[in-house]
Structure 1
Amino acid sequence: MLAVFDKSVAKSPEGLQSPDSESVSAFKDGFLAQHFSSVHPASVTINLGSAGVMAFATDKQNPLLPRLFAVVDDIFCLFQGHIENIALLKQQYGLNKTANEVSIVIEAYRTLRDRGPYPANQVVRDLGGKFAFVLYDSSSKTSFIAADADGSVPFFWGTDSEGHLVLSDDNEIVKKACGKSFAPFPKGCFFTTSGGLRSYEHPMNELKAMPRIDSSGQVCGATFKVDVETKKESSMPRVGSAANWSSHY
């Protein structure tokens, strides 16, 4: 899977950015989407206009960590992995028996956006299993990205030469545009348009970017760790049913 977002949709964390002569523009002339298509000839590419691009392929995948893609009411979601407590979540969100993991993520986001009954960190923490997902809501031009606490699914992100955020389950795809400005997506974390990167296991603590050194001794993106010494002033507030949750996260 692949997602490239403009800075207005997903501003890359400063720690992930680094001067790198190897990085190029992922957007220019559809460069990265075309490269993804060359690697996955049967892939599907979704043009999100000025917001970015998403691409999805079912080939070359781990059968234990399948990829899924769905669009519901202008909400686009790429999902890889599986959710273990799927029956409980279907009941919680009022979904029918045929609903799958990607449907659950979309409905969880929509419930959060429209009613905000739970903090966002709790919603992600309640997804039991091995997963990584990228969601884009075109109605509010917001992104919602997360990975499980064990980093069970290969999931990488990086910053291209123009500051666009690139995400994929294939590190070579990310490196194609981002050079050394890439890293594994942090375990147990979620990223939102207005809230940036946060830990859903320790939502009250700040995240600190630690330089990531590759095998040749060069700085290669950053690893984000929970800073046990710094805490946020408050956890994410709930919002009323009349409010749009996406403007609060």
Structure 2
Amino acid sequence: MKPGHFQGHFHDTAVNARMKRCHDFLEKNFTVKSSMRRMVDLGDGNGAAIKLGPYCHIASQDGVTVVFTGEVAHWPDVSPDADPVADNQNKYVSGEQGGSEADRLLKYYRALLDVPTVEEVCERALESLGSVEGPFAFVIFDSMQRRVLAARDKDGAQSLDWGVTNDGLLCFGTDFSMLGECVRPTAVPFPAGCLYTSAGNHIAESPGEEGWVIEGEQWPGHVSCYMHGMTRRWRPVQAVPRVDSHGCICGNVFRVASERDVPNVQGAA
């Protein structure tokens, strides 16, 4: 998945201005030939850009959009004898639509829409992610629920980075050289083995001098580790202030609480 972005302030009513800002942002920072990319308008001034290929998929339905990159060898609800990797490659070569990793993930997420609380959605997602095998990263944008979810495989084999621009755009991407140019100093690797869920309709803070997940009463979201521990069902994730070379706090480094069976997992925001 190449840099896609999600605006953090949904109370702004200047829809056209937000749409233009999103389009200009992607055009400027996603430096891939137009014939090899797909630009997606997610509505309300949000958008994504992906490089076309067999390992990057996008699926949308009823205001929910999934952008997925990687190759999953096994999904929890798929027969052990199935080969999703070969299936995706064959469909890409033949031009066949449907059945991609993004489609599977979209179907799973839509099944959670009747779940009453975001905490329960997160719990079920953590349970399922722990059983997924293979390198992957994804971002789900739900325009109806005003919700963003993102995750990365437990080994960190699939790249995924994130950060926030000065004007409050929460950005995700898999090419750090592109993303880093537009969201410095906050662009950092997304923590491997973790799931991010936004909290409320205010999902990103302007970095400023103190970092976008450190100050303020309302945090922009929650980061949870989906790897099981020896003594706890889920590993707790600790946020440690990230300091740049000038001694300024510019975000958080997320670390999975140390335990013998699970190595420390680093990422940041």
TM-score of the alignment, normalized to the shorter chain, above 0.5: yes
Which amino acid in structure 2 is aligned with residue 105 of structure 1? L
Show CA shifts across 1:138-183 (max 9, x none): 2222111100111111111111111221100011221121122110
Which secondary structure does the structure 2 equivalent of 1:39 belong to? coil
Q: Which residue of 2 aligns with 1:82?
A: 71
Does 2:111 match 1:111?
yes
2:47 to 50, 53, 59: 53
**By how many angstroms is 1:228 displaced?**
5.0
Query: Compared with structure 1, are the counterparts of its residues 197 and 144 closer, same or farther at alpha carbon in structure 2 (3 Å cutoff)?
Result: same
Size of the aligned set, in residue pairs, is: 204
Q: Which residue of 1 aligns with 2:226?
A: 200
CA contact (8 A) 1:26 1:164 kept: no
Q: Which residue of 1 aligns with 2:5?
A: 4
CA contact (8 A) 1:6 1:51 kept: yes
**By how many angstroms is 1:91 displaced?**
6.1
Q: Which residue of 2 aligns with 1:226?
A: 256
CA contact (8 A) 1:90 1:104 kept: no
Query: Compared with structure 1, are the counterparts of its residues 112 and 213 closer, same or farther at alpha carbon in structure 2 (3 Å cutoff)?
Result: same
Show CA shifts across 1:68-116 (max 9, x none): 1111332211111111114x52469xxxx96231122112211222256
Which amino acid in structure 2 is aligned with residue 50 of structure 1? D
Q: Distance in 2 between matches of 1:38 and 1:101?
A: 25
Which secondary structure does the structure 1 equivalent of 2:158 belong to? coil
Q: Distance in 2 between matches of 1:124 and 1:183?
A: 22
TM-score (norm 1): 0.69
Q: Which residue of 2 aligns with 1:67?
A: 56
CA contact (8 A) 1:148 1:188 kept: yes
Any stretches of 5+ residues in structure 1 without a counterpart? 10-24, 230-249
Any stretches of 5+ residues in structure 2 without a counterpart? 11-17, 81-86, 88-97, 200-220, 229-233, 260-269
Percent identical pairs in the alignment equals: 23
Q: Which residue of 2 aligns with 1:171?
A: 176
Query: Compared with structure 1, are the counterparts of its residues 72 and 126 closer, same or farther at alpha carbon in structure 2 (3 Å cutoff)?
Result: farther
Which secondary structure does the structure 1 equivalent of 2:126 belong to? helix
CA contact (8 A) 2:30 2:178 kept: no
Aligned-CA RMSD value: 3.4
**By how many angstroms is 1:123 displaced?**
2.0
Which secondary structure does the structure 2 equivalent of 1:34 belong to? helix
CA contact (8 A) 1:8 1:51 kept: no
CA contact (8 A) 2:243 2:251 kept: yes
Q: Distance in 2 between matches of 1:126 and 1:119?
A: 12
2:25 to 18, 21, 32: 32
> Which structure is richer in relative contact order (CA contacts within 8 A, separation 6 or more)?
1
Q: Distance in 2 between matches of 1:31 and 1:212?
A: 30
Query: Compared with structure 1, are the counterparts of its residues 136 and 180 closer, same or farther at alpha carbon in structure 2 (3 Å cutoff)?
Result: same
Which amino acid in structure 2 is aligned with residue 190 of structure 1? L
CA contact (8 A) 2:4 2:49 kept: yes
Q: Distance in 2 between matches of 1:221 and 1:170?
A: 20
Which amino acid in structure 2 is aligned with residue 110 of structure 1? R
